[in-house]
Amino acid sequence: MNLADLNKIAQAMVAPGRGILAADESSGTIKKRFDPIGVESTEDNRRDYREMMFRSRDAMSKYISGVILYDETFWQKAKDGTPLVKLIEQAGSIPGIKVDEGTQPLPGCPGELITVGLDKLAERLKKYYEGGARFAKWRAVIDIGKGIPSYAAIRTNTHALARYAALCQQAQIVPIVEPEVLMDGDHDIDRCYEVTEFVLKETFQELYYQKVALEGMVLKPNMAISGKKCAKQASVDEVAAKTVRMLKNCAPSAVPGIAFLSGGQSDEQATAHLDAMNRIGGLPWKLTFSYGRALQAAPQKAWSGKTENVPAAQRAFDHRAHMNSLASKGEWKADLESKRAA
């Protein structure tokens, strides 16, 4: 393992004003995104949609530091025969790959899941590195509900995250460590804070046990936020203050950066929260974005599977990437949303 090189890539992933595009939706998930816009989820349509984003020059060259890809996309070629990985590299961005293989029910823990995919991961990472991947992602899913999460679910998932991270660094690939506490329930922000703090502390303990070099990784957590069904939704300032406090209690300063997942927040909500956190200042790590839906919902709708809509979809993607770039520097303002180019 060459830690200096891993750190260089990790630092580039969280470079000032830049963040990560999560374009790693599985075939099943992208179908759920395509259905509302009337697009059939074929291999060609999935390719065309992603190619459209990767050719959005402003977003990719100015605001996007890296792109997380799904296995299918990683090996695909653009219509002109250029590998999609090469398009990302040519734009000055870093190709990454989602390596977990989804979730399964966790035995003995009703309603809880374990992320799988460690078997033969070392061999897969070698192939991805040869194909151009310089970072990877693994997502653990922790739900909040009656009697859950259990310690068994938290411990099992954080242990798997740490094993994945160690295998990545052995393969000279920067691991994005993503322990996601879901915001689907009716819990309030304090319950989210409590569970996420526990999960993060366990995550870093397991990373220590597995000898993962913190300087060569990026953390991708959820924010401390109210559950979607909670009657009282926390304000932007409360989310920012509690998330920063939580992270300072859990994430060592050796970690180069923290790239948040949007986790079901609306586009502007995810941007506003990130901006408010960066305005607090005095942070030991860089705070940026690793958004999926919060970057893609607008361009998907604008595109709707039609070639003539590609310029409008690229403008929508450029705009969302630009807004989040500003938020990662604490320079976003809500009135900038209405000034988007038509």
Q: Which of 2, 6, 65 lies closest to 255, judged by CA?
A: 6
Q: Of the residues 137, 220, 242, 286, which is catalytic?
A: 220
98 carries an active-site annotation? no
Whole-angstrom distance, CA of residue 254 vs CA of residue 11: 11
120 carries an active-site annotation? no
Q: Of the residues 178, 180, 202, 206, which is catalytic?
A: 178
Q: Which of 114, 105, 279, 139 lies closest to 222, judged by CA?
A: 139
Q: Which residues are catalytic?
A: 178, 220
